[in-house]
Copies of this chain bind each other. A is one copy, B any other.
Amino acid sequence: MITLEEMAASVPDGALVALPPDNSLPSVALAKALARRGAKGLRLLGVPVSGFATDLLIGAGCVAEVQTSACSLGEAGFAPRFTAAVKAGTIRVVDATCPAIHAMLQATEKGVPFMPLRGIIGSDILANRPDWTVIEAPFTGERIVCLPALEPDVAAFHAPMADEAGNVWIGRRRECATLAHASRRALVTVERIVPGNFLEDERLAPGAISATYVSAIAVAARGAHPVALLDEYGFDAAYVAEYARMARTEAGFAEWAAREVFAPRREAA
């Protein structure tokens, strides 16, 4: 158990940080804390796409590179700081496609150097991925894409709860389990710590990630906000819409961030 600010401090500049998107347990609280600590040169990985937390980190100048299958604010439209940064050329964007990101993480999860994946051939995504390759598949002889194992330095996500043994409950968002398995360190913010041990409870165990894979836990109430958290709280559409409007310009983003990210103790309120 560490504090949110300690957790942010433990993420080194330049780290490859994997983030799930909106609706899949992003830790917006940690993203804000990373912005507060002035993280630099982060390489973000969308698992498998990117949303609010990524746009915020780009706006705050923390990001050198984004590998993702898409970056958007969903109903609130294009991600404004991402879009501006692509246009300005201030971040490197490495495009992927959703199942490829899952497969690259599953390769690391399984301890194999690569995974094959159908599709993709004929897409310019492949033409812009010198790190992906095409082979003739054993058995069928078809041409198939092979993707290298991808091991993030840090996986960061937000879960409803952790238990006293350090297990984390993520429910059906099993991509966060794969992400934790595949990453060197998994940093998890949670709404609360509960007594007991999820692994001893047949009903809770299927939605749990064993503490084996969890490097640190910090409590951050409403840590996914403005994104929805399972059945705990809903999507704050007004908050995101306001962000989308203000973040259209760098100045507008700065104003928004001064109020919503840097204003002291706001997170703890």
Chain A residues in the interface with B (C-beta under 8 A)? 103, 110-118, 133, 135, 137-140, 142, 144, 146, 148, 170-172, 174, 202-207, 230-231
Interface centre among A111, A139, A205, A230 (most CB of B within 10 A): A139
In the bound complex, what is the Cα–Cα distance between A152 and B136 (angstroms)?
Answer: 25
Closest B residue by C-beta to A131: B139
Tell whether A113 pairs with B139 under 8 Å between CB atoms, given A203-B203, A206-B207: yes
Other-chain contact of A202, B112, B118, B142, B230 (Cβ < 8 Å): B230
CA distance A133 to B137 in the complex (A): 11
Are B138's CB and A114's CB within 8 A? yes
A207 in complex: contacting residue of B111, B139, B207, CB < 8 Å: B207
A113 with B133: CB separation less than 8 A? no
A204 to B207, CA, bound (A): 9
The distance in angstroms between the C-alpha atoms of A144 and B107, with both chains bound, is 13
A135 vs B146: C-alpha distance when bound (angstroms): 13
Instruction: Say yes or no: B118 contacts A116, CB within 8 Å.
Output: no
Given that A172-B205, A202-B171 are contacting pairs, would A111 and B115 also be in contact in the complex, using a CB cutoff of 8 Å?
Answer: no
Whole-angstrom CA separation of A63 from B125 in the bound complex: 48
Name the residue on B nearest A231 (C-beta). B202
CB distance from A113 to the nearest CB of B (A): 4
Instruction: Please indicate the chain B residues that have their CB under 8 angstroms from the CB of A172 in the complex.
Output: 202, 205-206
Whether the pair B115, A139 counts as a contact (CB closer than 8 A) is no
Query: By the criterion CB–CB under 8 Å, are A140 and B116 in contact?
Result: no
Evaluate contact between B206 and A171: CB separation under 8 angstroms.
yes
List the B side residues contacting A140 at CB < 8 Å. 113-114
Q: Does the CB pair A113–B114 fall under 8 Å?
A: no
Query: Nearest residue in B to A117 (C-beta to C-beta)?
Result: B112
CB atoms of A112 and B146 under 8 A apart: no
B118 and A137 contact, CB distance less than 8 A: no
Alpha-carbon distance A16/B203, docked complex (angstroms): 32
Known contacts A171-B205, A205-B171, A206-B207; decide if A137 and B114 are in contact (CB<8 Å).
yes
Min Cβ gap A116→B in Å is 5
Q: A111 to B117: give the CA distance in the assembly, Å.
A: 8
- Complex Cα spacing A73 to B62, Å: 57
The 10 closest A-B pairs by CB, nearest first: A206-B207, A206-B206, A113-B140, A138-B146, A172-B205, A172-B206, A202-B231, A112-B116, A139-B148, A133-B138
